[in-house]
Chain A
Amino acid sequence: QKEVEQDPGPLSVPEGAIVSLNCTYSNSAFQYFMWYRQYSRKGPELLMYTYSSGNKEDGRFTAQVDKSSKYISLFIRDSQPSDSATYLCAIKSWGKLQFGAGTQVVVTP
């Protein structure tokens, strides 16, 4: 079993909709949770990270962690075509990052 599970999508939404992305993880000891965004043919870039349960907001992006369910989420409000990318969740485990498979998001105008 992978340490981080993520639905690969693709997820297609109309412009302005809320995008909801999820990951589950296996080990309740994990403390640090990240979301990376990867545009086509580019390297991933850090979007947000959090180390506690609850919500963290940054502009149109909200990261949510539910440690009791071992569930992490990313919400994108008022989605734009420029948000079209692959979103990878990651957890910090034993001094390294373990990534989910990535969810491809397509925002159509």
Chain B
Amino acid sequence: DTAVSQTPKYLVTQMGNDKSIKCEQNLGHDTMYWYKQDSKKFLKIMFSYNNKELIINETVPNRFSPKSPDKAHLNLHINSLELGDSAVYFCASSQVVGGETQYFGPGTRLLVL
């Protein structure tokens, strides 16, 4: 049974398009995150939600909008995609905010052409 799942796994799209990535966790955790990993493998937090409320919003362009319909789901919508958005996006969850033990999804590989 997958703990943290993401869809889609791969996303290839043109510049200017809008796309969404979905995430679900079945661990019963209260906190979920979106991370971006660039081509140099540097993993950086984008957003953190606790009980459907936004807790952390790093310096991320307004084109990125997270949405948490319930505690088990955290989606990421990206408007007007740019070349620099190409990266791997990971969803993660933990029992508490900023928990040391975070469970990551398999990642969504986004390529903007």
Which residues of A pack against B, CB within 8 Å? 8, 32, 34, 38, 41-46, 49, 86, 88, 92, 94-99, 101-102, 104
List, in ascending order, chain B residues with CB within 8 A of A38's CB.
41
User: Smallest distance from the beta carbon of B37 to chain A beta carbons, Å?
Assistant: 9
List, in ascending order, chain A residues with CB within 8 A of B105's CB.
43
CA distance A61 to B40 in the complex (A): 25
List, in ascending order, chain A residues with CB within 8 A of B40's CB.
8, 101
Judging by beta carbons under 8 Å apart, are A102 and B41 in contact? Answer: yes
User: Smallest distance from the beta carbon of B60 to chain A beta carbons, Å?
Assistant: 13
Judging by beta carbons under 8 Å apart, are B41 and A101 in contact? Answer: yes
List, in ascending order, chain B residues with CB within 8 A of A49's CB.
100-101
Judging by beta carbons under 8 Å apart, are A46 and B41 in contact? Answer: no
Sample of 16 more A-B contacts, CB < 8 Å, known A38-B41, A43-B105, A45-B103: A41-B107, A42-B107, A43-B4, A43-B107, A45-B104, A46-B102, A49-B101, A86-B41, A96-B48, A97-B45, A97-B98, A97-B102, A99-B43, A99-B44, A102-B41, A104-B41
Residue of A nearest to B97 (CB): A95
User: Smallest distance from the beta carbon of A52 to chain B beta carbons, Å?
Assistant: 13
Can you report 27 A-B residue pairs in the complex whose CB atoms are below 8 A from each other?
A: A8-B41, A34-B100, A41-B107, A43-B90, A43-B104, A43-B105, A43-B107, A44-B43, A44-B104, A45-B104, A46-B100, A46-B101, A46-B102, A49-B101, A88-B43, A92-B98, A96-B45, A96-B48, A97-B45, A97-B98, A97-B102, A98-B45, A99-B42, A99-B44, A101-B42, A102-B42, A104-B41
| Binary CB contact string for chain B from 64 to 80 against chain A (1 if under 8 A, 0 otherwise) | 00000000000000000
